[in-house]
A and B are shown apart, each in its own frame.
Chain A
């Protein structure tokens, strides 16, 4: 198996927690993993991305080649479009629809959504709203991980276990909220797909 995932968002939105959770799940399942992160200057509100590669075979490059990503997992709608050149023809664009507006010329939201819907395989959900409903808007990143989980070749239980390990230090309450967020995200995607069919 192999899953090449481009994680996208804005510095501070928590894509590294998504990556850490998948990474934990991958290691526990004896998969090979490479995950290139962005640290430093861009973390100050700039666009950030992480290339996450999982495989049952050894992985060569830390970076995903253009056109090879199976998933773009974005916690911000405009950022999801920035990495389209990396998405394979059969790949899925999975994105949050709540914008993070910290630049003056942020594009018109209707146009952003239209462009997302223009992609052959896409899931667009309001992760901030869903995270609020499960109890903490800051868990929107994990809602998005849940939303992408049906496309990632890792058992859902393993992701849950990853959440437990990654958030363990922050207390049982935070673990529970994130598990709920994960489930709610997965459910949102399943509903969206049922709707398509």
Chain B
């Protein structure tokens, strides 16, 4: 069979389609975006009418996927690691309700924070929820795991997590497909109280979840994704998790690897193999991309017994993504590095595009705020976060989706005036609306700038749920119509923009300013251009 050349993200998408997926629910977030985009572009997915439209945020995505599972169909939800924080309530409770149709939660972590504000490890969440976690080491395994995860989910009636990191998400390799399965037929849960987490039912369900522990451990022990390789040098045993296994093997392409290795890609940990390795080896090295999750488990609090090496004792760096060289260093292997980077090579940070509307909005804001001094702009997650960099130096915070409005409110409550929030249209409908309601309820003097470019820009121009609804939402939340100010951010409009901003900064209540111009990266998206025209925006 012809191999498909797929990103790790795309391999998961194809695996899910082939496993009889009926719907994917997601909000864009690097490095997870391409999973959903692949399904949106898939011909088979269209023919099967597999749901793939973007959700408003990760929580709505997770809940909708759970609803599809309730109705008996196979559903998947995908997000970046911090997206799981947004969806955490639904995620943890989905393990208590359990599932009907298979439910797969794909989380793409971003160690080294290539496009993120932290490098949290989603395996911690998977353990917290007490469900099976699959961590593929290559694209084929990513495909196979997605293909098999729905069956595993249905067998134990629990969600299954697939955890990848940036490197696998965005690396391409050949993948061989399996036969396509039919979609599930609709069916209601056998027990009508299964999804009702009233304390009485929740206690029963939780006991059931706890009772599955030995089963899930047994599945890990028998998993085709976990394997033990023997080695005669028992001075060291190696646990290599997910993609870290690749970096280990890269270093032993041309030299013998004489130590026993446990390749680990399915959790909870297979106790039999771990015990075997600990019993026969003098010391253990744990290689894992992300937090030292397994290392910490093996080490324990008392640090008694077999010495465990890894990120916690400095054998590997405590933070950042692994790579072949870091793993080589852990084995004291020589690295024949090429010439050093010449001093003249300057860093080239990402920047807002030439002609971007956010730039004009920031120029105006900086002028309008001159008389008040710096330190009063709370921003959010999106391209406009790049306004933190020179030459704009326009913002003072970027924490999580929606935090601009609520932090501005908190600072205003503390007496900061003016207190300004900068948020994008898509981020606003993701998590900004509820914070705006808080401010409206108390008539807190804040100025909210919703820099509207009709898209989710940073992740590549996905649909924005705000399109065509923004003013209605803002009015509906209760912002006074005369303090909702819309204009087109251009260099020619600078004076007008500054004037409007000054007026609203002065207002002792909630103002929403909407600089509105289409993202220049999406100008070639004909259907979006058409839609914008139709809406008269």
Binding site for B on A (CB under 8 A): 10-11, 19, 23-24, 27, 32-47, 59-69, 78-79, 81-89, 91, 102-103, 105-108, 111-112, 115, 119
Contacts and interface: CB of A to CB of B under 8 A. Distances in A.
A65 B114 CA distance: 19
A103 B337 CA distance: 28
Interface residues of B, number: 50
A66 B172 contact: no
B172 A34 contact: yes
Given A61-B247, A107-B345, A111-B344, 8 more contacts: A27-B174, A35-B173, A44-B383, A60-B247, A65-B325, A78-B345, A88-B336, A102-B348
A91 B168 CA distance: 26
Interface in B21-63: 30-31, 33-34
Contact of A60 (B167, B170, B250): B250
A44 B351 CA distance: 6
B339 interface: yes
A85 B337 contact: yes
Given A37-B170, A60-B249, A61-B249, A103 B324 contact: no
A84 B344 contact: no
B31 A34 contact: no
A163 to B, nearest CB: 15
A24 to B, nearest CB: 7
A89 B339 CA distance: 9
Given A34-B171, A36-B171, A39-B30, A45 B337 contact: no
Contact of B458 (A41, A45, A78, A91): A41
Interface in B161-181: 167-168, 170-174
Contacts of B173: 32-35, 59, 62
A35 B171 contact: yes
A81 B34 contact: no
Contact of B172 (A23, A47, A69, A111): A23
Contacts of B247: 60-61, 63
B439 to A, nearest CB: 29
A11 to B, nearest CB: 7
Contacts of B328: 65
B2 to A, nearest CB: 8
Given A41-B114, A82-B341, A62 B350 contact: no
B340 interface: yes
Contacts of B115: 39-42
B3 interface: yes
B427 to A, nearest CB: 15
B352 A27 contact: no
3 closest A-B pairs by beta carbon, nearest first, are A40-B30, A40-B115, A61-B250
Contact of B246 (A62, A79, A85, A102): A62
B334 to A, nearest CB: 9
B338 A40 contact: no
Contacts of A86: 338
Contact of B341 (A33, A45, A84, A105): A84
B253 interface: yes
Most central of B243, B339, B340 by chain A CB within 10 Å? B339
A130 to B, nearest CB: 24
A33 B171 CA distance: 10
Given A32-B174, A61-B250, A91-B338, A40 B325 contact: no
